[in-house]
Structures are given as C-alpha cells and as structure tokens.
Amino acid sequence: MSDQPQAKFEGWAVVEVMGHQSFAGYVTTEAFGAAILFRIDVPALEARERVTKAPGYINDQYAPAGTTVQEGATPGYTKLFGAGSIYCITPCSEDFAKKAVERSQPRPLISLQLPTAGALPAPIEPDDEDDEDNLDGDDAETFGGPQ
C-alpha cells in the first residue's frame, strides 16, 4: 500500500447508489481496515402541518387539493456505502439536502381539515309549520315541482 493520504469527502450531498436509490444528508468517508466507505447521515424530519397542492387519498379517504394535513415525524438514520455501489455524489447546501430528504422520505399523513371551497351547501331544514308531505303552491316551486 501507498503511504499517500487518502482523499476525504465531508459535507452535505445527494448520493445516488445502485438500485436507482438516492439519499441526501451529511456525507463523510470512513476507513474500516482496507475498506473505505461513504457514511450518509440522513437527518430526522419533525412533524409538521401543511396544505396539500394536489388531490389524493389519505387512509382510504379522498382528500381534495387544499386539505390541511399533518405529516408525522421520521427518525434520522445512517447508511454506509462502498465506493463501488455509488453512481454519483452531488455536493449541495444543507438546506437543499434537507429539502431532498423531505421529498424522498415517506411520512405518515393525518387529515386535519378538508377545504371548504367547492363544498355542498348545508341542506335546508323544513319549517315546523310546513307539511313536508304536501308540496303544493310555493313549496312546489322551491323544490322544482310543477307550477
């Protein structure tokens, strides 16, 4: 072996690996004997509320765009990769790496509030004095009956 020092990488990056997977986080190199591995520390994501931009399903319930949801927290984790399994490393800022983690990390969603725009109006309650079974006169026009 050579006595020349090994190059090191340390910083925020997006790392693409075999299997068309990518990981974003703080990347360092580590030596384990003769093996040099890249360590990716993926940051944890805190729980947060947001408003959806597109419709979708949350726990088998349809949620239109504009639904307020809570995204659950996810723990951080560490991955070690050998140089042979890495396709590319893209250095980036901490902010960019954390946004990449938010886009790629699946998080449990809880529907908090559906949007009110486009909702059907509340049903009209019949007056106590009106006879609901007799739709003649003014009531027939209100309910679309013959005039």
Question: Cα(58)–Cα(109) distance, rounded to whole angstroms?
Answer: 7
- Segment 57-92, tens digit of pLDDT: 888 888 888 888 888 888 999 999 998 999 999 999
CB 16 within 8 A of CB 40: no
- Segment 14-68, tens digit of pLDDT: 999 998 899 999 999 998 888 889 999 999 999 989 888 888 888 888 888 888 8
Question: Cα(49)–Cα(7) distance, rounded to whole angstroms?
Answer: 42
The model carries a pTM of 0.65
